[in-house]
Structures are given as structure tokens and as C-alpha cells.
């Protein structure tokens, strides 16, 4: 990935993971990635409209998945797509806990493990420090 593309994708995301919203200056589990929203193996292109800024944890958990199971039982649903979907329409924040408010949001929170213990700790610390 060229440095120019990385910078454009990062700037568009405001330096935050487009899935869990963690800022990229927080040491977590490695460098942020330019993630293919639709994976190359599914004919996703390496073009700005198909790229997202993602923390290494979200990127690793998402992998090439385009769908996941809604834990509330509505079946297999499309994952949140940061290029087409509004974060505020699919997720809400309660203290440090991210809730999926749509089937897609719930499936994404579950698959990407957005509320894993360390993620909750980091979000909570950032909130207390006024950095969220």
C-alpha cells in the first residue's frame, strides 16, 4: 500500500479505527491497517472507496468476512460497512461499551470482539482522560 493511499485513508477516518473507533495513537496490539472492506478474494479493489482505517484487532477479527450471525437470532447479516453505513445508526456507546443497535451492528460487535476486556479498559481510560 502506498504511503499516499495510507495517509488519505487515515485522514478520512480522523485517525480512528472505522470499526471500534479506537484512536491510532493508542498502543494496543500493533500498527493500524488499511483494510479492504470487501476483501480482494471477493473481488474487492484496492481503491479508496473500498478501503478503511482499522486497528489490527478489528482487521484480524474481520478478516475476509462480509457477513456474520446476529447474536439476537435474526440470522446471517451483512457486517457494518464504513464506506456505506453510518456508525451512529448501527452502534451506540454506553460508558465504554459499544452496543450494536441494528442486526448488522450487533453482528459486527460480536465478530470483531469490540467489547473484549482490554478494549473496554482502553476506551474507559480514554474517556476518563477526556480523549475519547
CA nearest to 34, candidates 17, 68, 114? 17
The SS3 of residue 22 is: coil
In tens, the pLDDT along 45-71 reads 999 999 999 999 999 999 999 999 999
Say if CB 122 and CB 28 are below 8 A apart: yes
Instruction: Look at residue 22 in the predicted model and tell me its pLDDT.
Output: 94
| Single pTM value for the model | 0.95
pLDDT of 29 over the 90 cut: no
Average pLDDT value for the chain: 95
**Mean pLDDT score, 122-126:** 94
Q: How confident is the model at residue 79 (pLDDT cuts 50, 70, 90)?
A: very high
Instruction: Look at residue 1 in the predicted model and tell me its pLDDT.
Output: 81
CA distance 124 to 10: 23
CA distance 16 to 55: 8
Question: For 16-116, where are the alpha helices, taking DSSP H only?
Answer: 56-62, 87-90, 103-111
Amino acid at each position: 500500500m502506498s504511503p499516499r493511499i495510507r495517509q488519505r485513508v487515515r485522514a478520512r477516518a480522523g485517525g480512528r479505527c472505522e470499526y471500534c473507533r479506537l484512536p491510532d495513537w493508542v498502543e494496543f496490539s500493533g500498527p493500524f491497517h488499511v483494510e479492504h472492506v470487501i476483501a480482494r478474494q471477493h473481488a474487492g479493489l484496492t481503491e479508496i472507496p473500498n478501503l478503511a482505517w482499522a486497528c489490527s484487532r478489528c482487521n484480524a477479527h474481520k478478516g475476509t468476512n462480509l457477513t456474520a450471525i446476529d447474536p439476537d437470532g435474526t440470522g446471517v447479516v451483512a457486517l457494518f460497512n464504513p464506506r456505506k453505513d453510518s456508525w451512529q445508526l448501527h452502534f451506540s456507546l454506553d460508558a465504554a461499551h459499544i452496543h450494536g443497535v441494528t442486526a448488522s451492528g450487533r453482528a459486527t460487535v460480536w465478530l470483531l470482539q469490540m467489547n473484549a476486556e482490554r478494549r473496554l479498559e482502553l476506551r474507559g481510560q480514554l474517556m476518563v482522560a477526556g480523549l475519547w
